[in-house]
Chain A
Amino acid sequence: MLRLSGYAAARPMSLFLFKRILTLIATLIGASVIIFGVLEVLPGNAAQLLMGADASPEAVAALATKLGLDQPLWTRYWHWIGGLLSGNLGDSYAYGSPVIDLILERLALTVPLALLAMALTTVLALLVGVTAAARHNKLGDVGLMGLTQVGIAIPNFWFAILLILLFSVKLQWFSAGGFDGWSEGVLPGLKALLLPALSLAVVQAAILARITRSAVLEVMREDFVRTARAKGVSQRAVLWRHVLRNAMIPVITVMGLQFAELLAGTIVVENVFYLPGLGKLIFQSIANRDLIVVRNCVMLLAAMVVIVNFVVDVLYAVIDPRIKASDI
C-alpha cells in the first residue's frame, strides 16, 4: 500500500527500490510455491491424470518414473525453479516439444494483443475522460458517463461476439477469427488482432475513462490551473498539457491493474476468435491434462501481472518522490 508523506523526500530512492525488489522476489517465490503446490500436490499423480483412471498401475508407475514424478517434492520444485531460471521448462507431455518453444510461439500473439488492447484502452479512456471532465455535469458528460456504465457492464466475450456479428457476418470486413502469424506482414497480423483487442479494450477503457474524469476534475480545482487560465492559456491547452499530466498518477496506477485484467481477458477472447495464443494453449493443455504446460503458463501470466505492478509502483515513485520507502 502506498501512502504519501511530506518529509519522505529525504529517503533515498535506492532504499525504496531495494525494498520493492525484495517484495517482488518474495511475491514471485510465493506465487511459484502456490502454483506448484496446487498443480503438483493436490491432484495426486500427474501420470495417473495423464493416462486416465483405467490405466494399469505398472504403466502409470513407468510414466511417473519417465516424467521424474517419483522424485521427492522439494527436488521437483527446485528442478522446476532451476529450469525456469535457465529457460529449460521441460517437454510438454502432449506435444512432446519443449514447453519454452510452445510458450514463446504463443507469446508472439498474446503480447501484441495485450499491448494493442492497452494502447486502445488508453487512447479511448483519455479522450472520453478528459472530454467528459471538460463538460462537467453538462449533457455531454452525463451521456459519456452513461456510456461508460454500459461499457463496464458488457462482458468482453459478448462484445467480441457482437463485433464478429457486425464486422464479419454482416459487413464481412474482417474474418471471424484465426491468425496466420506475422510472416504475412505486420498489417495483416494487426488486422487479425484488431477486433479481439477492441473487445478487450472497451470494458477497460470504460473503467479508466471514469478514473481519468474524476482525476482531471480533482486537478482542475487546484490553484495552478486557475493561474494558467488567468495567464491566458487556452482551456484546451490547460486541460491536455497541465491538468492531464498532474492527473496521471491515479490513471497510471489503475492502468497497471488493468494490464493484469487484460492478460487474463486474453484467455477468454482468444477462445472467442480462435486465436492460437497463450490462453488457447492453456485450454488445450487442460484438455490434454498437460499439467507441465499449464503450470508454466500460469506462472508466466502471474509473473507478468506481478512485474507490471512492480513497474507501476516504481514509476509512481519516480513521478512522486514523496512516496516513502517505509510505506512499501
Chain B
Amino acid sequence: MSAVPIDIPAPGAPPAPGFWRRAMRHPSFVIGAVLTLLLLLSAALSYVWTPWSPYEINLADKLQAPSAAHWLGTDAYGRDVASLLLVGARSSILVGVIAVGIGVTLGTALGLLAAARRGWVEEGIMRLADFSLAFPAILSAIMMTAVFGAGIVNAIVAIGIYNIPIFARIARASANAIWSREYVAAARACGKGGLSITLQHVLPNISAVLIVQITIRFAIAILAEAALSYLGLGTQPPQPSWGRMLAEAQTLMFQAPLLAVFPGLTIALAVLGLNLLGDGLRDLFDPRLARNR
C-alpha cells in the first residue's frame, strides 16, 4: 500500500503554505479580523483626527440626537459621542495590551518552567495558579482600589495579575505535550539543556495556542476595563472610556436612551471581533479541531 499523504500539521506548527488563502475563506476569521482592524484603526485615527474635541464641554449643545453635525449625538456636557468613542478605544487597547502582556509573559514563563522542571516546581506553580483562581479580576481590582485608589494603572495591574495563572496553565499543558515528543527526546540525547529545548522547541510549538489565547484574553480585558470604568474604578475623567460613558448615560435613560446604546454596542463589536478572530485562528492553526466544531 502506498503511503497516504496526511495533511495534518502538528499543533502549533508554523502556518502551512496557503494559510492566507484558507484564512480568507474562513468567515469567523475574516469578520473578526475586520472588526479588530477597525478597533485598532479608530484608536490610531483618534490621535490625528476626531470630528469634535472629546474634552470640550459645550452645554448649549447637550443631549442632541444624532445629526449630520454630531453623527451619534452629544452627551450631557455637549461632547460629541462619536469623538468620545474614538478616543475611548485608546483606553481599551491600552488596558488590553498591557494586562494581556503581563499575563502572557509572566504566565507563559511560569508554565514553561513548570513543564521543564516537573516535580515540586511544577506542583508549586500549579497550586499557586489554582489558588489565584479564587480572585476573579473584579475582586482583585476592588482590593487594589480599596488600597491604592481608583485608576487605570490599578485596573491594568489587577487584570494583568488575573491573566497570569490562566496563561501559566495553558502554557504548561501545551508544553507538557511537546516535551513528550520524539524530537525533544532527540534534542535531549544530543545533550541540550532544559532552557535551550524550551526556547528552541517548546516555545515555538506552543505559540499558536498562545496567540489564540491572547486574542481571547484581550477581549476579556476590554470587558473587564469597561466594567471597572463603569463602576468608577478604571479610567478616570476627563479621559474618555466606554465603560464610564455607559455609567453617565444610565442617569439619563429617560431623556436620552441612545446614549446608553452606542458605547455598549462599541464594546460588544470590539469583543465580538477579537473572539471571532481567536476562533478563526484556532481553526486555521489546527484544522483537526475545526472538523469537530
A residues adjacent to B (C-beta < 8 A): 1, 23, 26-27, 30-31, 34-35, 38-39, 42-43, 149-150, 152-159, 161-162, 164-165, 169, 176, 214, 217-218, 257, 260-261, 263-265, 267-268, 271-272, 282-283, 285-286, 291, 294, 298, 301-303, 305-306, 309
Q: Which of B183-191, B202-210, B260-268 contacts A (4 or more CB under 8 A)?
A: B260-268
Do the beta carbons of B134 and A150 come within 8 Å of each other?
no
- Contact yes or no, B230 A157, CB < 8 A: yes
Q: Which of B131, B133, B143, B223 contacts A35 (CB 8 A)?
A: B143
Interface of B is mostly: helix
Q: Is B226 located at the chain interface by the 8 A CB criterion?
A: yes
For residue B82, CB closer than 8 A to chain A, the reply is no
Asked if B275 and A298 sit within 8 Å, CB to CB, the answer is no
CB nearest to A266 among chain B residues: B138
Contact in complex: B260, A30 (CB < 8 Å): no
Which among A26, A161, A282, A286 is the interface contact of B264 at CB below 8 angstroms? A161
Q: Does B271 contact A (CB under 8 A)?
A: yes
Additional A-B contact list (15), CB under 8 Å, known A264-B137, A286-B146: A1-B173, A27-B131, A38-B147, A150-B272, A153-B268, A157-B246, A158-B267, A158-B268, A161-B249, A162-B264, A169-B254, A218-B292, A267-B138, A272-B250, A303-B134
In angstroms, Cα B149 to Cα A42, docked, is 12
On whether A165 and B257 interact (CB within 8 A), knowing A153-B272, A268-B227, the answer reads: yes
Query: Known interface pairs A155-B226, A286-B146. Does A161 touch B275 (Cβ–Cβ under 8 Å)?
Result: no
In contact, B268 and A155 (Cβ under 8 angstroms): yes
- From A158, A161, A218, A264, contact of B253 by CB (8 A): A161
Which B142-185 residues have C-beta < 8 A from chain A? 142-148, 169, 173
* In contact, A214 and B293 (Cβ under 8 angstroms): yes
A153 in contact with B271 (CB, 8 Å): yes
Residues of B in contact, count (CB < 8 Å)? 47
Name the distance in Å between B277's Cβ and chain A's nearest Cβ. 11
Q: How far is the CA of A217 from the CA of B271 in the complex (A)?
A: 27
B14 within 8 A of A: no
Chain B residues contacting A267 (CB-CB under 8 Å) are: 138-139, 142, 231
Most buried by B among A1, A43, A294: A1
B139 A301 Cβ-Cβ under 8 A: yes
Chain B residue contacts of A38, Cβ below 8 A = 143-144, 147
A294: nearest residue on chain B (CB-CB)? B146
Task: Please encode chain B, from 119 to 148, with 1 for each CB lying within 8 Å of some chain A CB and 0 for all others.
Answer: 000000011001101111111001111111
**Among candidates B169, B173, B227, residue contacting A157 with C-beta atoms closer than 8 Å:** B227
Q: Is the pair A298, B139 in contact by a Cβ cutoff of 8 Å?
A: yes
**In the bound complex, what is the Cα–Cα distance between A320 and B127 (angstroms)?**
23
B231:A283 contact, CB within 8 angstroms: yes
Nearest neighbor of A283 in chain B, beta-carbon distance? B231
Q: Give chain B residues whose Cβ lies under 8 Å from the Cβ of A34.
A: 135
A80 to chain B, nearest CB (A): 15
B127 proximity list for chain A (CB < 8 A): 23, 26
Cβ B246 vs Cβ A39 within 8 A: no
Give the shortest distance, in Å, between B131 (CB) and chain A (any CB): 5
Q: Do A268 and B138 have beta carbons less than 8 Å apart?
A: yes
Most chain B C-beta atoms within 10 Å of own C-beta, residue among A31, A153, A261: A153
Query: Complex: how many Å from CA A42 to CA B276?
Result: 41
Name 8 A/B residue pairs within 8 A (Cβ), A-sorted: A39-B147, A149-B275, A155-B243, A257-B133, A264-B136, A283-B231, A294-B143, A301-B139
Which B residue's beta carbon lies closest to that of A285? B146
**Contact partners of B144 in chain A: CB under 8 A:** 38
| Nearest CB in chain A: distance from B246 CB, A | 6
Alpha-carbon gap, A271 to B243, bound state (A): 13
Residue of A nearest to B172 (CB): A1
Interface flag for B269 (CB, 8 Å): yes
When C-beta atoms are compared, the residue in chain B nearest to A218 turns out to be B292
Q: How far is the CA of A31 from the CA of B267 in the complex (A)?
A: 32
For the complex, give the distance between the alpha carbons of A158 and B246 in Å: 7
CB-based contact A294/B250 at 8 Å:
no
Residues of A within 8 A of B267 (CB): 153, 155, 158
